[in-house]
Structure 1
Amino acid sequence: MCLVSAAPVPVEKPVLTMLDHLDRGNWELRVRGDEARVERICLDNGRRLIQLRHPQLRCEQVVLDDGASEVTVQYTCKGQGYGRTHIRRETNSLVQIDSQGIANGFPFSFAAEARRTGECRG
């Protein structure tokens, strides 16, 4: 008689799925504090919010926290700087962002509210 052990196979959950559920479109970032300003971006993927001070750079990312409504990611862009970003989702069209690091040889630190404002305009 042969006994086969059916050990449970761990199922990997997709990483950063909270960001994948954010609404695509035009978003307005209201940066708070000393450098208060408004930025606008066309968001095709919520993951872009991780590297706002290092856009379009290929950086190595390490996910520190991956929850249903909050994520924290640390990233390093070889020779270009690094950052650590925490994003908290209130709704799929409203998030709070805290990010700090080094970009272009200078430190940055900001807190912002990002809100979807409509469709992207071509």
Structure 2
Amino acid sequence: MFSGVRHLRGAGRACVLAVIAGAGFLASSSLAQGPALAMLDRLEPGLWEVRARDDADTVQICVDNGRKLIQVRHRGEACRRFVIDDSATMVTVQYTCPAGGYGHTRVRFENPRLAQLETQGIDNGLPFNFIAEARRLGPCGR
């Protein structure tokens, strides 16, 4: 009888140690990753031009942080975001907006003044899909 109790205590101890080790691993790996979407923080604030590659369509956006490049088609909307990929050179984000639009955007870092965008989704009930270059032009006008 005592040997069975001792065995259960040993198994319980092993379980507790496994949980503690797993929690330590998760904590250390989340610390190593840094803040979410940190690549976008490396883009310089200012006036940015987003130029679609397949046509002459351009949009100018005053960017206070690179996260604004995620929602080029849904600027100013408070959309819920889900980060799909978050690395030092590229982020991919899926977002859904309360007004019914949504998007899927990939931003690739070239340098602090240049990024490549791929975005697609629905805006005002119509689909969009484009590849663009985003380039910092200078400071935002007042």
TM-score, scaled to structure 1: 0.88
In structure 1, the partner of 2:99 is 79
Please tell me the residue identity of whatever aligns with 1:94. Answer: L
Aligned length: 117
Higher helix share: 2
Please tell me the residue identity of whatever aligns with 2:106. Answer: H
Give the alignment partner of residue 14 of structure 1, picking from 16, 20, 35: 35
In structure 1, the partner of 2:85 is 65
Structure 2: 5+ residue runs without aligned partners? Answer: 1-16
TM-score, scaled to structure 2: 0.76
1:26 matched to 2:47: yes
Once residues 83 and 19 of structure 1 are traced to their aligned partners in structure 2, the CA distance between those partners, rounded to angstroms, is 17
RMSD between aligned alpha carbons?
Answer: 1.6
Structure 1: 5+ residue runs without aligned partners? Answer: none
Q: Report Cα offsets for 1:24-69 as digits up to 9, x if no partner.
A: 1111111121x43222111111000001111111111100000001
Give the alignment partner of residue 117 of structure 2, picking from 97, 101, 106: 97
Paired residue secondary structure (1:51): coil
Once residues 51 and 37 of structure 1 are traced to their aligned partners in structure 2, the CA distance between those partners, rounded to angstroms, is 16
Once residues 53 and 72 of structure 2 are traced to their aligned partners in structure 1, the CA distance between those partners, rounded to angstroms, is 15
Once residues 136 and 99 of structure 2 are traced to their aligned partners in structure 1, the CA distance between those partners, rounded to angstroms, is 32
- Higher RCO structure, 1 or 2 (CA under 8 Å, sep 6+): 1
Once residues 137 and 129 of structure 2 are traced to their aligned partners in structure 1, the CA distance between those partners, rounded to angstroms, is 24
Task: Work out the percentage of aligned pairs sharing the same amino acid.
Answer: 50
In structure 2, the partner of 1:106 is 126
Q: Report Cα offsets for 1:51-88 as digits up to 9, x if no partner.
A: 11111111111000000010000001123210000000
Please tell me the residue identity of whatever aligns with 1:45. Answer: N
